[in-house]
Structure 1
Amino acid sequence: TQPPPRLVQGAVITIPSTNFNDHLVLPLTISQAYKQYCVDHAQPPKDNTIYIYWRAMNGDMMLTLSNEEIDPGEKQPNLRCLICYIAAKSNSIDTPYHENTSYLNSGQPSQHATFLAKKKYAAKSDRFHIGCNTDYFMTYCLEYQCSTGQVTLSHAGPNAIYNHEKITCTFAKGNLDLSNLEFIYVSAGDSIIPIRNFMICFEKQPNLHPTFDSTFKKPTLTIGAKDAVGHIPAKATNDNASNPESISAGVKKSTADDASSSITPCLDNINCLIQYKADESDHNAKFSHPCRFSELCQSKECQRIHETHQVSMCNHDKKCHKLTDPFHRAEFRHTGMPDYLIPCRNQAKCTDTSTQHRMKYSHGEQVYGISSLIASQNASSQQQQNDDRDSQIPCRWGGKCYDFNSQHRAKYAHPKSDDRQQQEPNDHRALCKWGTKCYDSTSQHRTKYWHPESQEGEQQGQDNHRMPCKWGSQCRMISDVNHRSKYSHPSTEQK
């Protein structure tokens, strides 16, 4: 179930981009947080477990817990640190899915590059963000038990429903004594990282850990039996009972439906710049915004609307040369790519014309709802064609008319010929000028020319009502239509 919206609490900080060279220490130590907990609670915590919660965007950040203050200019032989590194979120256009390594380890923050190069970790994951909504703040939880030395990094909040990945390891006290950790540092890599709701807790926060019934099973009903509301199911299945993805899909749909009905849609829809700002939680709590992946989204946050985007796949797919065109992206789908782009904060004033930037960001183009516009345009075009046909004068020859002049066709309606063209869309033969009055039944002629309304039965019936021409095949009027409609020439028509 989805927990109710939670007020902003805890520390709020924005980490500058320092490539993990500078580490900012939080003003509150773990022992100070414990004293505050004891003041607010009459009973001490049940176990010696510490929970650190925080929300951040984009990843590529490091959380470091140390037993003493870190001084880069001094040698610290007794310094012991727990390093928690969260890799940057995966690029949504990457297929197959690729994500850098997130890890837990003991050591010093300055060894981060070495850990990555040598792949030296206590525990790691290359799929830590899969299934998460990475376009908004993601909630993380670092849990460690001082008595056992076990450390676990996982997702909290709504993403915990769809992503069950946990990075877990156990440290021996001789290597890293978790009970001695006191100071908390945060640092960022190549980009600025906003952090909010940073909290040190000594009890698990239930509102940050949404739950669902993982053992739920659909009731098995016999065919013909009525359910609780009196409906007779065609067939009762139990396919979803052991499928966690099906359970998660049900939770996603329920969450999205509830959100779309309770939150007012933002007037700027997909082009809203406020929705991605770190300090605009009030706006996102009041207004909903369309998801860039529409109904194909694999991680549906409550602030996103997942409407069906009825468009066709692009014929060129990922090889398309229009991937930088927001209108084309909204009009056609491409595998693994969103329907809508992220609005660039510079909008029309943006000077970055690189392909990578233009494939990811839009610049004020009004593309939302383009599928509905296309459908309405097609309907209008079809209606216009019907109106034009209704305003035309019916041709006296109807479907038998062989005047294909554009002016004639624009002025006169030929309903039967139009239907005939729809019935024979794949026939590439030329139209015989004699049409149904043609009596050349040779295979060579019939293979080359099309006679849409002629049938053998009709031709035989017409032969029975005509008089044999006395000149036979020697008749000089054999090409005259009026003459051939009255007289038959068996010797030529049976060739």
Structure 2
Amino acid sequence: YSETYSYLNAGEPYRHSVIKITGKCSSSSRTFHRGANIENFLTYCLKIEKKTGQATLSHAGPNSIYCYETITCRFSKTTLDLSKLDYVHVSAGSQKVPIRNLTINFEKIPDLHPLFDRNFKRGDDPFHNRKSPHLRSRSPSPNIAQSTRDMPPSFIRKAANAVAGLFGYDADDKSLGPCPYSINCLFQGESQHMKKYSHPCPYSELCTNKEKEPNLTHEPHRAKQCPSKSSCQKLHDPVHRAQYRHPGYPDFLIPCQDGSSCHNKTSDHRIKYSHGEQGEVVRDKIRRTVCQFGTECRNQDDNDHCSKYSHPGENRVKHARSSSPERIACRHGSDCRDKNDRQHRSKFSHPDERESSPSSNSARITCRHGSDCRDKNDRQHCSKFSHPDEDRNQGHRGSNQDKTPCRHGNKCFDKDPHHRSKYSHPNKK
């Protein structure tokens, strides 16, 4: 009898060709398929025990009656942490082998693990008086057909917790607060964020996986059918997608982590992800109370507070944040002393910053003094009048507008960075 290695291993997939020859792996067997019917599809069962770190590969279905052998390996957490398993790679010799009906289950399926008398010996009476004949029905297993209302609450809770653990959130969370950034949220993939907040499902009420997505809301999306349907040329436009429905496509696009700086221009990517364009279209569907403190509210960056109260101009801030995902939230927050440092602001974001754009010039009057204006550093003056060279000095001017004018003006000799970060000084000619 000759059989190549069947094995379990914690390593890279490319080592398969080496293991095939040397057999050096975590656990292996050269008699794993002895007695199996290899002329048809084989059914395997990979049992993973997260707490103990043990993985067991065995046969399932009819072959499990004739092939008792299992391949078992206990992995240490330093070698392979089964609770943080990213993928399972299946290799099959040097040929391509189809894999069908891959399922993940949290309870043993009796139909795939038939019972039989392992102690049966040749010559024993198969129908002993004390033994009742074992008749297998073609109908589904009673354990599977049993309705959920007949199951004990503990079983339902265990199953719910098991499914929740797989997708990164707790089933004990009865209700999640809506995320203030709604469908534009960039943290929808983070487990800690998903435990606290819910987000609209891109497929809205048409989603077919509602029971498996308790962290997503499935409210009706009132949108007309696009006349072009699936052949629409605007499938990459998040605004159009939110306004019209297209068969086979979600209502909303997932925000790309690279935002407006994304270099992936492929059609498949643009049809699936948004890049900061839909800030004004997708609004929170939960009616919130207008905050009494308005723009002066100190809790505008508290997700709990914002899920209940709305603030003026928050959509502009959301759009600014979604279009600059490459920046990391500064750990000092509003108390940061380097908020006016351009290099620091290019890497870190702050709660109290507001979007500043040269496009705001259209709402201001052109100053008659032009670039020779002496009040270019006066915040009140600049809020009414625009100047020709302000685009070039946008960063410098923007930072000065947030500072208090120094009483010494251009005669100030204090070069201390802390002083310069607090007080503005006129440009020296």
TM value normalised by structure 2? 0.28
Higher relative contact order (Cα pairs below 8 Å, separated by 6+ residues): 1
More strand per residue: 1
TM value normalised by structure 1? 0.24
Query: Greater CA radius of gyration, 1 or 2?
Result: 1
